[in-house]
């Protein structure tokens, strides 16, 4: 490591690819396990995809881990305030994240999904719902390998009907290209109500 390396500088921490595929009644959130500081792998088995609210919501995060956990706890409290209203809970969190002096410093992004909706949340106050494709599904990704995973998933979308298989294949492609993404995938899946 260079002598001037600053472990506290979140811009030097890299690693994470989070991909969400919503297709044919299933939503899949998949993430890799690599955490890097500069060009050094600090951990290969981090768990960046988790279930919250008794398992009914899946969250995947990229960025500073402690910051992501703080935001995850805040989101969970918003979901307690607004149960079954994922969009409102996400908007309320984004408003706090954007306006609160402490929260504004947090360096993370999140993908949040339940059986019906998917959102990307950022510290800029963004709550973005991904575009719905021709088949009614949606694909979105964040993190250092996010664009690779997103491009691969979109390319495979017409050829792969199973959301989990599609997500695994796309993440494998991202891991093969992005040096900040590894093959230690964590996958969480929800089935939409019939």
DSSP 105: G
Count the neighbouring beta carbons within 10 Å of the beta carbon of residue 53.
Answer: 17
Angle (deg, nearest 10), helices 163-177 and 146-156: 140
| Phi and psi, residue 96, nearest 5° | -65, -45
Distance of alpha carbon 112 from alpha carbon 50, whole angstroms:
10
Q: What are the distances in angstroms from CA 169 to CA 114, 118, 183?
A: 22, 20, 11
Closest-CA residue to 116 (of 75, 88, 85, 142): 85
| Phi and psi, residue 188, nearest 5° | -125, 140
pLDDT < 70 regions, the chain: 1-15, 103-104, 194
**Of residues 16, 17, 140, 181, which has the active-site annotation?**
16
What does the pLDDT read at residue 14? 52
CATH topology of domain 12-188: 3.60.20
Is residue 16 part of the annotated active site? The answer reads yes
What does the pLDDT read at residue 137? 81
What does the pLDDT read at residue 63? 81
Distance of alpha carbon 30 from alpha carbon 189, whole angstroms:
9
Distance of alpha carbon 110 from alpha carbon 102, whole angstroms:
18
What does the pLDDT read at residue 149? 96
Say which residue the tokens 């500073």 belong to. 64
Say which residue the tokens 């019906």 belong to. 116
What does the pLDDT read at residue 21? 97
What does the pLDDT read at residue 178? 92
């Amino acid at each position: 490591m260079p002598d001037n390396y600053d472990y506290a500088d979140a811009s030097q921490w890299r690693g994470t690819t989070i991909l969400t595929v919503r297709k044919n009644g299933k939503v899949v959130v998949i993430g890799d396990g690599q955490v890097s500081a500069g060009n050094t792998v600090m951990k290969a088995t981090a768990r960046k995809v988790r279930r919250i609210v008794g398992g009914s919501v899946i969250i995947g995060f990229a960025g500073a881990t402690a910051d992501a956990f703080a935001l995850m706890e805040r989101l969970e409290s918003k979901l307690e305030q607004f149960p079954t209203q994922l969009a409102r809970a996400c908007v309320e969190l984004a408003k706090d994240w954007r306006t609160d002096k402490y929260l504004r410093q947090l360096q993370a992004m999140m993908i949040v999904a339940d059986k019906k909706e998917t959102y990307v949340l950022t510290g800029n106050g963004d709550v973005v719902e991904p575009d719905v494709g021709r088949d009614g599904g949606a694909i979105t990704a964040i993190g250092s390998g996010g664009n690779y995973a997103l491009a691969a998933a979109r390319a495979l979308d017409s050829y792969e009907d199973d959301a989990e298989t599609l997500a695994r294949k796309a993440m494998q492609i991202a891991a093969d290209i992005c040096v900040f993404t590894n093959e230690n995938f964590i996958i969480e899946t929800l089935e939409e109500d019939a």
